[in-house]
C-alpha cells in the first residue's frame, strides 16, 4: 500500500527521452516548471508552492519554507501539478532538458529516500517530497562537485530524474568502494556514504586533466552515474565558441591554418 499516488509510466526515446505518465481519475503528477511536453484532455494543470507533499505542511509558513528550500538547489519556487479530472485514464508527458536518460526510481523499493544532484529532478507522483540534503563533511561540500546542498527525494511513489549521456546503475555491497569523477554522480540511495578523495601524485594533478578530487562512494546501496555531466558538455561548447573561447588548434603549431584547412576559417 502506497501513501503517494500510484502511477504507471513509459519512457520513450534513446538519447533524447521523455516519460509518459498514465493517471487514473483524480491521480496527480508533479513536475518541474518547464518539464511539461504534452497532455490529454481532462488533465488540469495547476502551479503550486513547493511539492504538495504531506511533509510540506498545511500552514502558509510551512509552504513558504518548503518552497524556499527549492531555491537553495537552484529550482523554482513553484512546481506544477497535473491532475486527471476525467472518468478514464489520461496521459501527461515530461521531457528531459538535454541529451541523456530519464531514470525511473521506485522510492518504495529503494528505502524511501534518494539523494540526487541539483537540477536532476524531472517529475514524480504526488506525495513525493522534494527537499534538500546537506553534505555532512566540509571537504565534500567544497570539492565534491555539487556543493553543500543536493536534492532529497522522499516517499513511497515513483520519481524520475534525468542525467547526461549514458546512465549506469551500480549496486555496492557493504564496505564496497567506488571512485568516480565528481560530476558523474547522479543519485544514490540513503545507505551510501559519499565523500571526496584527493587524487594522488603531483603529475596526476598537473597533467591528468581530470581534476584534483574523486567522489568516493561506499556501500551498501545503489548508485546511478552519468557518462556526460551537463557541466562538461557546456564547457566543451563554450571552448569551441568564437565568442567565448578558443579552439584547441589555435594553440597548436598550425594555429589558425588548422582551422582554415578543416573548413572553419580563422
Distance of CA 81 to the CA centre of its chain: 19
Closest to 225 in 3D by CA, of 170, 148, 158: 170
pLDDT at 141: 44
Residues 6+ apart with CB under 8 A from 235: none
117, with CB counted inside 10 A (0-12, 13-18, 19+), is: buried
Distance from C-alpha of 99 to C-alpha of 188, rounded to nearest angstrom: 21
- Element at 65 (helix H, strand E): helix 60-72
More confident residue, 78 or 194: 194
pLDDT band with cut points at 50, 70 and 90 for residue 240: confident
Contact assessment for residue 120 and residue 186, using Cβ atoms and an 8 Å cutoff: yes
Grid cell 545507505 is found at 191
Give the architecture (CATH level 2) of 8-228: 4-Layer Sandwich (3.60)
- Strands in 193-198's sheet, in edge-to-edge order, are 177-181, 213-218, 193-198
Give the residue extent of every domain in the chain. Answer: 8-228
Query: How confident is the prediction for the chain on average, in pLDDT?
Result: 79
C-alpha cell at 97: 532538458
What's the distance, Cα to Cα, between the start and end of the chain in Å?
64
pLDDT at 159: 97
pLDDT band with cut points at 50, 70 and 90 for residue 124: very high
pLDDT tens profile 49-75:
777 776 555 555 655 555 555 555 555
pTM of the model: 0.79
pLDDT band with cut points at 50, 70 and 90 for residue 266: very low
Tell me the three state secondary structure of residue 98: coil
Q: How many residues does the chain have?
A: 266
Contact assessment for residue 133 and residue 141, using Cβ atoms and an 8 Å cutoff: no
Q: Is the pLDDT of residue 262 over 70?
A: no
C-alpha cell at 186: 547522479
Tell me the three state secondary structure of residue 258: helix
Amino acid at each position: 500500500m502506497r501513501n503517494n499516488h500510484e502511477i504507471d509510466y513509459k519512457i520513450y526515446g534513446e538519447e533524447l527521452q521523455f516519460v509518459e505518465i498514465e493517471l487514473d481519475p483524480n491521480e496527480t503528477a508533479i513536475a518541474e516548471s518547464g518539464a511539461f511536453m504534452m497532455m490529454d484532455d481532462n488533465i488540469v494543470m495547476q502551479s503550486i508552492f513547493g511539492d504538495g507533499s504531506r511533509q510540506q505542511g498545511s500552514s502558509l509558513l510551512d509552504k513558504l519554507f518548503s518552497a524556499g528550500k527549492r531555491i537553495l538547489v537552484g529550482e523554482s519556487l513553484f512546481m506544477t501539478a497535473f491532475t486527471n479530472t476525467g472518468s478514464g485514464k489520461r496521459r501527461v508527458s515530461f521531457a528531459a532538458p538535454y541529451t541523456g536518460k530519464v531514470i525511473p526510481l521506485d522510492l518504495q523499493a529503494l528505502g524511501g529516500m534518494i539523494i540526487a544532484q541539483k537540477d536532476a529532478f524531472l517529475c514524480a507522483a504526488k506525495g513525493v517530497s522534494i527537499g534538500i540534503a546537506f553534505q555532512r563533511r566540509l571537504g565534500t561540500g567544497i570539492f565534491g562537485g555539487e556543493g553543500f546542498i543536493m536534492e532529497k527525494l522522499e516517499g513511497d511513489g515513483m520519481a524520475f530524474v534525468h542525467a547526461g549521456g549514458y546512465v549506469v546503475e551500480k549496486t555496492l555491497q557493504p564496505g564496497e568502494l567506488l571512485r568516480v569523477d565528481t560530476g558523474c554522480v547522479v543519485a544514490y540511495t540513503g545507505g551510501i556514504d559519499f565523500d571526496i578523495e584527493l587524487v594522488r601524485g603531483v603529475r596526476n594533478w598537473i597533467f591528468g586533466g581530470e581534476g584534483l578530487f574523486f567522489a568516493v562512494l561506499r556501500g551498501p546501496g545503489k548508485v546511478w552515474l552519468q557518462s556526460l555531466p551537463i557541466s562538461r558538455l557546456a564547457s566543451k561548447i563554450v571552448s569551441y565558441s568564437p565568442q567565448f573561447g578558443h579552439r584547441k588548434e589555435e594553440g597548436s603549431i598550425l594555429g589558425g591554418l588548422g582551422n582554415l584547412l578543416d573548413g572553419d576559417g580563422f
